[in-house]
Structure formats: C-alpha cells, structure tokens
Amino acid sequence: MNEILMQRLSWVAYRNRILNDDAIVLLPCGALEQHGPHLPLGTDALLSSAVAADVARQLDGIVAPAFSYGYKSQPKCGGGQHFCGTTSLDGNNLSQMTRDVIREFARHGVRRLALIDGHYENQWFLTEGIELAMRDLSMHGTRTPPLRVVRLEYWDFLTEATLAKVFPDGFPGYALEHAAVLETSMMLHYHPELVATDAIPDDGPADFPDYDSYPARTGWVPLSGVLSSARGASAEKGAWIASETAARIAAALRTEFADTARAKPQREAHA
C-alpha cells in the first residue's frame, strides 16, 4: 500500500502518484470550533481527515493536509461564535482559500479531487470556491477544466439502517448532532484518547425557533455547547459509522471518477 498522506511524500513521489497512477486526492475540510466539554476543538478536521484516510486506503488515494479553519459557527448547528476557542473564517476567505488550493492541485496535474467536509457550515462556501476555481481553469486554454471535483459531507453516506442502530430511540437530525452521539462515537473510534467521557453533559435536544436572529441569541444554546445528548455514544457505534461512510464514499468516488482516467501512452510496435 502506498503512503496516503501528502505531507509525508516527497515532491517526486507525489508527482509520480499523480501523473503515473492518477491518484485521487482527498482534501479534508473541518473547523476549529467548540464541541462541548468532552471533545476537542479540532473535532471536525480530525474526523474529516480520518474518514478521508479510510477512503484513501480503499482507493489508493492521497490525503492532503486538512483545512483546519472553517466558516463561522452558527447557533442552531454549531453552538455559535460566542464560545472561547471557536476560531472561524469569513465565508469569502474560505471560498478564496478553496479556489487557490484547487488551482494549485490542477497545476500539479491532479485530475480527480474530492473535498471531504466535516463542518456543517462550510458547504456553500466550499462550493463557491470550487465553482470559482473551475471557472478560472476553463478560461486558461480549454473549455473543459483539466480535473473533476467532488464535494461531499461524510454524514450523508449513512443509511437509514445504520442510523436506526445508532439511534434506537430516534434520530434528532444532523443539525442537532453537534458534539452529540455521531461525532462522539466517531471520536471514540478514531481518537479515544481525546474524548473526556466523564465530562459528557446531559443537555438537549436544544429547542430552536424556525428562524435565525441577529445579533445571535446566545441564550438559545445550552451553556455546554452540546445541542443534543451524547450519552448514547460508543466506540462500537463509531466503528459502524466509520465503516459505512468510508465504504460508501469510496464506491461513490469510483463511480464518479470512472471516466476520468488518464490515457496511458501507447508503446510503439516493433517488427
């Protein structure tokens, strides 16, 4: 098995993987955001990186260093910006950073790139960066950009059957799952040493109105920052989630990138 982490490859080894093997590059996208008293601030980047690594092992791909800062935390899905440690980007800055990095990957010769998002609020700003980069690349010589880009959120690959196993009493919804059962279970699976199980609060589920208000109403958010109880989390559930998401993401990328393989040079026949 080849090395999967881009930062551990020499530029020569990386170039060979890109040009000769047509390796898929996976870019984890996270945030630096409070995740209650029991999970680390870097949970989103840690989990998107771990999922990306599992996918890369199945596809013989390369995992780029993660975007560790994300778009601003929102009260109804991330607790909000008022928590100490939450350190965020304006949306335009995240989009421009995404744009720059995609153009750089294209310059390297990457033809297949997947952004693995682990922070709910990032989605549309990553999309904007992708679209700007693709427009830039289309304006430089060819009508069709030289690479294909996929953006996905790993939680979308969980099936109803697995969600029913993880949430026998009913699934509260992805927005309220901030620092709750899904993320805590995955951290217990991937990084158990970083989970303070004795500090898991018993908050939630939070009850938000059907609108947003500005300035943000911090009183809507439990003091712990946890939007739904993580009491039902376990490493076993984390393993179920990790296995299914990685397998289904890998299958989706195989399908999406099936027609993007680089043509191999034909050897001349000799009499």
The one catalytic residue among 117, 119, 189, 203:
119
Q: Where are the alpha helices (DSSP H) in 71-222?
A: 75-78, 91-108, 123-138, 160-166, 181-190
Q: Token pair 């009493």 is at which residue?
A: 169
Count of C-beta atoms within a 10 Å radius of residue 191: 17
The answer to whether residue 119 is catalytic is yes
- Here the tokens at position 46 are 């840690």
Residue 231 lies inside a defined structural domain of this protein = yes
What are the backbone angles phi and psi of residue 134, rounded to the nearest 5°? -65, -35
CA 29 to chain CA centroid, nearest Å? 5
pLDDT at 142: 53
Residue 17 lies inside a defined structural domain of this protein = yes
The one catalytic residue among 117, 153, 177, 183:
183
- Here the tokens at position 225 are 């920052």
The answer to whether residue 268 is catalytic is no
Q: What is the pLDDT of residues 161-186, one digit of tens each?
A: 999 999 999 999 998 999 999 999 99
The one catalytic residue among 22, 44, 177, 203:
44
Residue 108 lies inside a defined structural domain of this protein = yes
The answer to whether residue 121 is catalytic is yes
Domain of 45, CATH number, reads 3.40.50.10310
The one catalytic residue among 22, 54, 117, 121:
121
Residue 267 lies inside a defined structural domain of this protein = no
The answer to whether residue 35 is catalytic is yes
Predicted model pTM? 0.93
pLDDT at 1: 73
User: How many distinct structural domains can be found in the chain?
Assistant: 1
Label residue 269 by pLDDT band (50, 70, 90): very low
Quote the DSSP letter at residue 73.
P
**CA dist., res. 80 & res. 220, Å (int):** 10
The one catalytic residue among 22, 178, 189, 203:
178
The answer to whether residue 33 is catalytic is yes
> What average pLDDT does the segment 49-64 reach?
98
What range does the domain containing 174 cover? 6-256
The one catalytic residue among 35, 177, 189, 203:
35
Residue 92 lies inside a defined structural domain of this protein = yes
